[in-house]
Amino acid sequence: MGSLALLLGLLIFSFVVTSLSIVPFINLLYSLRFQRRRQVTRDVFGKLTPIFDRFHHHKVGVPVGGGLLVIVIVSVTFALLLPLLGWLGIDVTSVYTDIRTEVNILFFTFLSFGLLGLYDDIKKFFGFEQDGFFGLRLKHKLLLQIVLAGIVAGLMFANLGLSILHVPFLGATLELGWLFVPFAAFVIVSFANAVNITDGLDGLASGTLMISLFGLWFLSASILDVPLAIFIALWIGSLISFLYFNVYPARIFMGDVGALAFGATLAVVGLLLGKVLGLVIIGGLFVFEISSSLVQLLSKRFRGRRLLPAAPFHLTLQKIGWEEPKIVQRLWLVQIMLTLFGVWLALL
């Protein structure tokens, strides 16, 4: 009961800190002109995406980069509070003997993918030329993601000894050995891009992420992984405050800085918990969104026509006439049930 009270207190603390900071941060973004700009977007094959542009033209001028504030607040508070708990005599337990490595993995993922996303935001919203360093193409950014994810996966395998995959229902455990590294890297990169793709409607990605994190928070607390539970508590608290300003009509957007960092770290949390298959369900909406985009791209590439009216899936719902708040609220409900099912699956 004491641990639960502590975690809830940290969540509230993070919420309050973010709430006090976010309005001045929004004003700062306005002063820096770090805002969504009117532009013609293209898909990964360089083709125009008029459907996306039609449904997003009214969002021009809204500040972008709210994810940066969340990253900074969560990282700073986590770095300060974790050693403080030890000094206060609170037992910081974990499923891993090397707690320092577990914490470093969380920090490295959160910050490195955040910096990569920040670079992308800077390039898009300050209009740098498409050459030199600021001209990195999609394949180069994907390569950087793979490198970062490979480093994280390597640390989990070499320093934490992670190499197994638990299969629910069957009660089986697969020993992947060194294959765990490419497998984990694939999961991390996939979720980083999945959250980025889902971040297309006001409150959709942030609300879905918040729901998913509550499920993973329950799992981390149930196995007494205190560092992980504290990190997620701080993350949820900050995210709730951000979501208040991100729901329709949004006053601030997450940006790639948040989407890439949050997606990659969500995957890492699932990997650290040893609940990868549960993660796929808990993050099911993200998986579905990126899958719909992948299927659409492959269909356009090899069949020469669309399979869906638009992709990702939330754009299809917009095209058939659903209002943006209706889409977001109903997908939140879908995500609640996916999270409950994923947690149940992870506990088997």
pLDDT value for 224: 86
Q: Map 216-265 to HEC letters.
A: HHHHHHHCCCHHHHHHHHHHHHHHHHHHHHHCCCCCCECHHHHHHHHHHH
For residues 282 and 193, give the distance between their C-alpha atoms in angstroms, rounded to a whole number: 16
The encoded tokens of residue 131 equal: 């050459």
For residues 217 and 210, give the distance between their C-alpha atoms in angstroms, rounded to a whole number: 10
Structural domain includes residue 286: no
The answer to whether 332 touches 206, Cβ cutoff 8 Å, is no
Q: Is residue 109 within a helix (H) or strand (E), and if so which, with residue range? A: helix 99-125
The answer to whether 246 touches 204, Cβ cutoff 8 Å, is no
pLDDT bin (cut points 50, 70, 90) of residue 1 is: very low
pLDDT value for 86: 76
Give tens-digit pLDDT for 194-240.
999 999 999 999 999 999 999 999 999 998 899 999 999 999 999 99
Please state the rounded mean pLDDT for residues 96-125: 92
Q: Is residue 109 over pLDDT 60?
A: yes
Structural domain includes residue 311: no
Residue with more model confidence, 131 or 195: 195
Structural domain includes residue 295: no
Structural domain includes residue 251: yes
Burial of 91 (0-12, 13-18, 19+ CB in 10 A): exposed
- Main-chain phi, psi angles of 166, to 5 degrees: -80, 135
Please state the rounded mean pLDDT for residues 151-156: 98
Give tens-digit pLDDT for 48-93.
566 666 766 778 889 999 999 999 999 999 999 988 887 877 778 8
The encoded tokens of residue 237 equal: 């608290």
Q: How far is CA 185 from the centre of its chain?
A: 15
pTM of the entire predicted model:
0.93
Could you give the angle at the alpha carbon of 196 between the alpha carbons of 191 and 202, nearest 5°?
A: 130
pLDDT value for 128: 57
For residues 192 and 125, give the distance between their C-alpha atoms in angstroms, rounded to a whole number: 20
> 1: helix, coil or strand?
coil
Structural domain includes residue 19: yes
pLDDT value for 302: 84
Q: Which domain holds residue 195?
A: 2-273
Respond yes or no on whether the N-terminal peptide bond of residue 168 is cis (omega within 30° of 0).
no
Structural domain total, the chain: 1
The encoded tokens of residue 8 equal: 């809830």
For residues 141 and 138, give the distance between their C-alpha atoms in angstroms, rounded to a whole number: 5
- Main-chain phi, psi angles of 253, to 5 degrees: -110, 155
pLDDT bin (cut points 50, 70, 90) of residue 136 is: low
The answer to whether 201 touches 250, Cβ cutoff 8 Å, is no
pLDDT value for 229: 95
Q: Is residue 295 over pLDDT 80?
A: yes
Structural domain includes residue 135: yes
Structural domain includes residue 344: no
pLDDT value for 90: 77
pLDDT value for 65: 93
Count of C-beta atoms within a 10 Å radius of residue 271? 25
Mean of per-residue pLDDT scores for the chain: 89
pLDDT value for 338: 98
Please state the rounded mean pLDDT for residues 278-305: 92
pLDDT value for 225: 92
pLDDT value for 41: 59
